[in-house]
Structure 1
Amino acid sequence: MDIETIADALWDAMRQGRHMPAEWAGRLTMQQGYAVQLALLRRHIASGDRQTGWKVGLTSEAMRVQQQVHEPCFGYLLESGRHASGKAYRFDELIAPGFENELCLTVGKTLRGPGVSFEDAVDAVTHAAPALEIVEVRGPFAGNLPLAMADNAQQKAYVTGAAVPLTAENRDLARATVAVEIDGTPSGSAPGSAVMDGGGLLSIVWLANKLAEFDLSLDAGMQVMSGSFTKQYPASIGTRVSASFGRFGSVQASFL
């Protein structure tokens, strides 16, 4: 079936509050799932939203084991979902929400694959900010990965603290760390090397080369959520989360 026809059907379902509709389960390949995701992105933009960047998901072993998926994935970020540290979310306005602990990277020059290298990523990424990805579990993930990709890989919003310029002293993102507190209680920690087994700049390499399969570049000015250092945490009414990334600062959010 034509990608635009599928996108129209899923767009209409989303407008009715139905995500990952059962009638589309098992009917898409992974490439079709991504193509539909990008077609839905075009519909968001046509409706007045703006793309601010991309997310890379399933970059750590903790996430891959938890989600039972063993390859990275991507989704898009929208201006309507971008929030500053301290954001309070209305729990009843979200679908089975959770959060992931990540760095948000700023791309200073356009990268176009295939063939983007680690050195290209080092040269292109200018800043890193402490960040939380706000996710929604809108349907089975591992059980229907192509449809989950069409539904933007659980992405709902993202929260960032102040961006820190990358220098020779802090550019090795494998040496970054995160310590997570939930409701004031230490709840987990992980090294930056957990992301792509070598740090978030490898997420940039993967993303730029993956986007090339769809004739897209990773454009200058885009923000990229590099993927969670830790597992995904569920949120409940009243949850308060703070994630500290050492030299990259901290970020907070809550669910009311």
Structure 2
Amino acid sequence: MDTESIADALWQALQEGRHMPAEWAGRFALDQAYAVQLALLRRRIAAGERQAGWKVGLTAESMRVQQQVHEPCFGYLLESGRHPSGRRYAFDSLIAPGFENELCLTLGKTLRGPGVTLADAQGAVTHAAPALEIVEVRGPFAGNLALAMADNAQQKAFVTGEEILLTSANRDLAQASVRVEIDGELVEEASGAAVMGGGGMLSIAWLANKLAEYDLALEAGMRVMAGSFTRQYSARPGMSVRSTFAPFGAVAVDFD
């Protein structure tokens, strides 16, 4: 079936409140799944949404092991899902929610692949912010990757702290680190090197080159959730999360 027809069917399911409908499992491949995802993004924009940027997922080895896949993925960010640190979410309004510990990077100039290099990415990203990606496990991910990608790779929202200007002193994102606290207890410490094996700038280069396969550029002004330093955490009612990224500061969220 052609991409637009698949997107029409999945869009109708979304209007009915159905994500990743079982009748579509296994019916299209991953390359077409991204095209379907982008077709659904166009429908969201036509309905009044605004795109804030992109996410790169499955960048950490721990995440790929957890989800039983072996390559990064991408999804889109919406302005309606962009929230400042301290956001409180009603747990019952989310679908099997969780969070990931990331840096949110801002593009100062457009990158157009193919052939975007790490040096190109380093020259294009101007700011970084401590961030938590709010995800929803809306259906089985492992073994059903194409349908999960069409459904925007579990993306729901993103919460960011203060943006920090990148300089020669902090631009090597592999040297960043995070301390994750849940309900005031330290649960994990991790390095930015876990992202793509060398930091979030590699996510930017990967994304620019991947988007080029769909005749898209990574546009100036876009924000990119560059990949989790840690595994994905499940949320629960009453959970309080604070993640502190050295040298970029802290971000917090609560699930009521």
TM-score interval (norm. to shorter) = over 0.9
Please list every run of 5 or more consecutive structure 2 residues that lacks an aligned counterpart in the other structure.
none
Query: 2:146 is matched by which residue type in structure 1?
Result: P
Render the CA deviation track for 1:100-138: whole Å, top value 9, x for unaligned.
Answer: 000000000000000000110010000000000000000
TM-score by length of 2: 0.99
Identify the residue that residue 25 of structure 2 maps to in structure 1: 25
Query: 1:117 is matched by which residue type in structure 2?
Result: T
Q: Distance in 2 between matches of 1:247 and 1:115?
A: 30
- SS in structure 2 at match of 1:156: strand
**Structure 1 residue 143 displacement after superposition:** 1.4
Identify the residue that residue 144 of structure 2 maps to in structure 1: 144
TM-score by length of 1: 0.99
The 5-angstrom pairing of residues 5-20 of structure 1 reads 5-20=5-20
**Structure 1 residue 17 displacement after superposition:** 1.1
Q: Distance in 1 between matches of 2:253 and 2:43?
A: 29
Identify the residue that residue 229 of structure 1 maps to in structure 2: 229
- SS in structure 2 at match of 1:131: strand
**Structure 1 residue 247 displacement after superposition:** 1.4
- Percent of aligned positions with the same letter in both sequences? 73
Render the CA deviation track for 1:44-78: whole Å, top value 9, x for unaligned.
Answer: 10010100000000000111111111100000000
The 5-angstrom pairing of residues 194-205 of structure 1 reads 194-205=194-205
Identify the residue that residue 95 of structure 1 maps to in structure 2: 95
- SS in structure 2 at match of 1:245: strand
Q: Distance in 2 between matches of 1:233 and 1:127?
A: 26
Q: Distance in 2 between matches of 1:142 and 1:114?
A: 29
Q: Distance in 1 between matches of 2:123 and 2:166?
A: 10
Matched, 1:242 2:242: yes
- SS in structure 1 at match of 2:195: helix
* Alignment size in residue pairs: 256
Please list every run of 5 or more consecutive structure 1 residues that lacks an aligned counterpart in the other structure.
none
Identify the residue that residue 252 of structure 1 maps to in structure 2: 252
Identify the residue that residue 128 of structure 1 maps to in structure 2: 128
